[in-house]
Structure 1
Amino acid sequence: MPSLRTLTILSLLAVRDTFALLDSQNNTFNSTFRLTAQQIATANLSADTVQNLETAIQFERSNNAGYLIQDDPFYILGDEYDLDNLPPQGTILKVEEHTNLSLYTLPNSLSMSRFLYVTETFNGTSVPASAYVLWPYQPRSFKNITKCSGNSSDDQQVYPVVAFAHGTSGQTQACAPSGLRNLWDQWNEPFPIALQGKTMMSPVVAPDYAGLGVPNGISQYFMLPAQANDLYHALAAAQSQWPSLLSKEFVVAGQSQGGGVAWSAAQRQHNRPVHGYLGTLAASPFTDVLAAIAADNEAQNNGRVAGIAQGLNTVLPDFSLSDWLTPVGVARWNLIHDIKGCGVASGQLSAAEGGALQILKTGWNESWSANWYRSAVMNGGKDFAGPMLIIQGTEDPNANEPVVTKSVNETCELFPEAQLQYIRYHNVTHTPVMMAAHHIWMDWIHDRFAGLEVPKGCVQQTLSPPRGINGAQFRGWMSQTWFVEYDVYGI
């Protein structure tokens, strides 16, 4: 008689056979994208790079939720919208109240809304952008939070709000997290915030960042104050759309690029206060962006600098991509936009054939525009609205620890009464710090909504696991050997 394990395997195979036209997306993709001969020649691509880039695009497009983002009707604003005369920033333009979650890989108890709203570029110009709200099944109850509006005496429970800034998904229209099946950062930040019943269960309001999703021009990538604007205006738009559900009070959170956005948002809050602000979590944050880039690897370096140059091109009238990029660098960046590639595809083009091609011009980082950029987006050495918790892995080669620590120290020297807590996690890299520090940052957010006071002053500490740690356990700067995938078998 067959064992229970054998019967289980046979039943799974039977299920698989009913979906014979589908295959596990561990080894096949729902895209047949191919580069044209002209694209290959113009960007000077080797045969290996062609294969890698095509595979990367196929992978990225397979992770869209239903539509390619650039083809999803949700992101398109029709002729009824005058894009030259948009309403005030923070205004809702379009709402998808109940997003079809059969197209996503979200935990079962969560629901989701998407919306378009008006935000603000680095220079203050109004542009449309997209965002999502991740809703828990039941919110956590906090007696210290209040509704944005509505009858305060009714029995409906208000949701405490976390305004979440995502890490880099890419720099083109196709890279909006709200159109990706796993929302990009998934189990690192948005899912736990919305799920953890003992501590949080808060809705997550998350902008895609202007230029991702809505076809409104070029993303001002890593212009951190611009993404901080996106964060605040998305929050205001969501609060106006769901005033009896969402609280006035909110916490800002972000990791990686989003950590830099979160820190920038805390600086913005000092200069442009928004009622209800309770504090900021900045994880693996970029502070002095160009200093961090100097310590990075070739592909990360090239791709991030090219992305920054793209955004800078929309801010400084006397700047162009060719100020920082070589002709082949410009050609490859134009190709990324032509094929609407995101982070994985950009990494393949930015590797520059293992150093055989030069993407960045010599001396780009010593130019007037680099100095202007460094000053304009700098986190640290500036006053901010506290409290702020900063968590950082000591082995992070991306937002590397020495640069972050320098920014923290400069801030604490200038503002010794600031409410700043800085925790380093020994031998932990970029993204894994979110898991290593999970209960610390979750409890910290909980305490802000609970109304617990944070003493003035800077507090720094370095933590290690009680039983020691083997650095080989943390492979690479992402150090993740899995990703959330769609169940094609219906098991």
Structure 2
Amino acid sequence: MRKFLSASVAALALASVLPHTAQAQAQAQAQAQAQAQADDLPKTVPEALAHEAALALPITPFYTAPDTTAQTGSVWPGKLVRAEKATQDYTVPAGTSVWRIVYHSLDAQRHDVLTSAFILLPAGPTPTGGWPVVAWAHGTSGVAQSCAPSLMKDLYYGDEGLFDFPKAGLAVVATDYHGQGTPGAHQYMNKLAQGYDVIYAVAAAQAALPGILSQKWVADGHSQGGMAAWSVGEMEQQLQNPNYLGTVSVSGTVDMLDFIAPKPEEGGAPFYFPMVAFGTKARFADFDEHSVLTKAGYAYYPLLATKGCWFTGHAAYAGKTSADIMQPNWTKAPAIQALLKEDSVGQLPVKGPLMVLTGGGDVSVPPGGVKATARKACKNGIKLFFHLYPGLDHDPTMTNSTPDQIEWIKDRFAGKPFTSNCGTL
């Protein structure tokens, strides 16, 4: 979930430290700049499709070929299917190398699925024990197969903090989520499906690059990936992997109802709802997307299901309200109720340290829902560190918080004590 009202980094950084009046002025300036940047986004569907095509890489047999060994041998989650080193496909910092992998994972029903991912390796010699690993979970890129970040020249988050990790000496293992890159339906906004994809990407990447990647790893994700990363912490409470060291959840969709149907004063981005309907259909086969989408809401649904990605969705539903897109009483649909229950966050125990970040000016994933979920988690005995960045919108929260994420992550690899601030919530 990105490129939506991306505010000025400099102005918002100042806003967090200035006195109240000056802070308000800086935030207003930042939001004005954010709107100007939003105005630069593709305005029409053809423009959006052309923009996405210019960034796209071809879906090659690397992504689509089956695992032939599965016919004769055993299959398990995290099993590596194939790996290749990228050559000139991506725009990455000098010295950073990129690998792609395909591996076995699980969907929300624990069915075997093939998933793709990419690996970013820092420049320089491999340290003793291998590069420490950040298992990255991306925000909404779309639901079609072509919307995989590894099929984008900039890896989707390249300019929003992702490249800062290898620059800081951290390897990145970044799942696409199954159904993106690989064939099949993407179970969009399902914390189980995305959590599995993150976890098993690490095992497959370590098998692809033995000795180059450390066995130790931390999960980190933004937006859709923020929910996925939190889910990893819940899953690891059961899996008890001793090499898992903690989770960072940034602007996570951890309160799904607040994300899908925010309060009027929270802003919100209703153009995500057709993609939520697609993900619900992928999870619950008997779900009828027409039961929750209006005629206007369904108008671009087939395009998003097969070809269009984030920019297309944004252009297709620009100016539409929730009432324009969603059927009345859509929350009463049994599949929607089941999805909301399955995506509930803040109740299950979490293994290891948890960092939860959000932006006070986020109009895509309202900060109120994130903070409420963090507060609920604390009341349920989950120890976490929570921080809100005043005035920051959705993408700037990811970009501006990256130094804090990296410092916190490096503390985990260094074995430093974790401090919870639940008492402040």
TM over 0.5: yes
Name which of 401, 405, 425 aligns with 1:437: 401
Aligned length: 383
Q: Aligned equivalents of 2:243 and 2:43: distance in 1?
A: 50
Distance 1:420 1:344 in 2: 34
Which segment is superposed worse, 302-311 or 277-286?
Answer: 302-311
The answer to which structure, 1 or 2, has the higher relative contact order (CA under 8 A, 6+ apart) is 2
Equivalent in 95, 99, 115 of residue 86 of structure 2: 99
Query: Is the Cα contact below 8 Å between 1:139 and 1:159 reproduced in 2?
Result: no
Structure of greater Rg? 1
Residue type matched to 2:261 in 1?
A: A
Are the counterparts in 1 of residues 270 and 320 from structure 2 also a CA contact under 8 Å?
A: no
Match of residue 87, structure 1, among 65, 68, 75: 75
Report if the CA contact (8 A) 1:76-1:214 is conserved.
yes
- The 5 A counterparts of 1:17-416 are 52-65=44-57, 67=58, 69=59, 72-78=60-66, 80=68, 87-96=75-84, 98-100=85-87, 102-138=88-124, 157-196=129-168, 201-215=169-183, 217-295=184-262, 301-338=269-306, 340-351=307-318, 354=320, 358-415=324-381
Summarize deviations over 1:159-188 as a string: whole Å, max 9, x none: 111101011111100111011111111132
Q: Once the 2 structures are TM-superposed, how far is the Cα of residue 460 of structure 1 from its aligned partner? A: 4.2
Q: Distance in 1 between matches of 2:322 and 2:252?
A: 31
| Unmatched tracts of structure 1, length 5 or more | 1-49, 142-155, 462-491
**Aligned Cα root-mean-square deviation (Å):** 2.6
Structure with the larger helix share: 2
- Report the CA distance shift for 1:95/1:358 in structure 2 as closer, same or farther (over 3 A): same
**Runs of 4+ residues over 4 Å off in structure 1:** 81-86, 296-301, 353-357
* Distance apart, 1:355 and its partner CA: 5.5
Query: Whole-Å Cα distance in 2 between the matches of residues 212 and 278 of structure 1?
Result: 27
More deviation, 394-403/114-123: 394-403
In 1, Cα distance between equivalents of 2:73 and 2:303: 31
Q: Cα gap change, 1:121/1:128 in structure 2, threshold over 3 Å: closer, same or farther?
A: same
Q: 1:381 touches 1:407 (CA, 8 Å); kept in 2?
A: no
Partners in 1 of 2:106 and 2:67 — Cα distance?
21
The residue type paired with residue 243 of structure 2 is: G
Letter matched to residue 374 of structure 2: V
Residue 358 (structure 1) shift: 3.2
Q: Aligned to 1:115, what secondary structure does the other structure show?
A: strand
Aligned equivalents of 1:343, 1:85: Cα separation in 2? 38
TM-score (norm 1): 0.73
User: Within 2, Cα distance between the matches of 1:331 and 1:429?
Assistant: 29
Task: Give distance in 2, aligned partners of 1:431 and 1:345.
Answer: 18
Distance in 1 of aligned mates of 2:322 and 2:360: 31
How far apart are 1:370 and its partner, in Å?
2.4
Change (3 A) 1:412 1:99: same
Do the aligned partners of residues 245 and 327 (structure 1) sit closer, same or farther apart at CA in structure 2, a change above 3 Å counting? same
Which residue type is aligned with residue 344 of structure 1?
F
Of 263-272 and 169-178, more deviation after overlay is shown by 263-272
TM-score between the two structures when normalised by the length of structure 2: 0.83
Instruction: Report the CA distance shift for 1:459/1:84 in structure 2 as closer, same or farther (over 3 A).
Output: farther
Following the alignment from structure 1 to structure 2, what is the Cα–Cα distance between the partners of residues 444 and 356? 37
- The residue type paired with residue 105 of structure 2 is T
Give the counterpart of 2:418 among 428, 446, 454: 454
Query: Residues of 2 paired with 1:81 and 1:330: CA distance?
Result: 40
Q: Retained in 2: the 8 A contact 1:95–1:114?
A: yes
Residue by residue over 1:8-58, the C-alpha shift from the partner in whole angstroms, topping out at 9 and shown as x without a partner, is: xxxxxxxxxxxxxxxxxxxxxxxxxxxxxxxxxxxxxxxxxx981111000
Q: Whole-Å Cα distance in 2 between the matches of residues 331 and 236 of structure 1?
A: 40
Q: Cα distance, 1:256 vs. partner?
A: 1.2
Tell me, in whole angstroms, the C-alpha distance in 1 between the residues paired with 2:197 and 2:240.
Answer: 15
Residues 353 and 383 in structure 2, CA contact (< 8 A), matched pair in contact too: yes
CA distance in structure 2 between the aligned counterparts of 1:354 and 1:254, rounded to whole angstroms: 28
Letter in 1 for 2:163: F
Query: Cα–Cα, structure 1 residues 360 and 84, in superposed 2: closer, same or farther, change >3 Å?
Result: farther
Counterpart residue number, 1:423: 387
- Identity percentage of aligned residues: 30
SS at match of 2:326: coil
What secondary structure is seen at the aligned counterpart in 2 of 1:392? strand
Q: Which residue of 2 aligns with 1:40?
A: none
Q: Quick one: distance in 2 between partners of 1:356 and 1:392?
A: 23
CA distance, structure 2, for counterparts of residue 391 and residue 224 of structure 1: 18
1:310 CA drift (Å): 1.4
* Contact 2:261–2:268, Cα closer than 8 Å, also in 1: no
On the 8 A contact 2:268/2:365 being kept in 1, the answer is no
Is the 8 Å Cα contact of residues 248 and 275 (structure 1) preserved in structure 2?
A: no
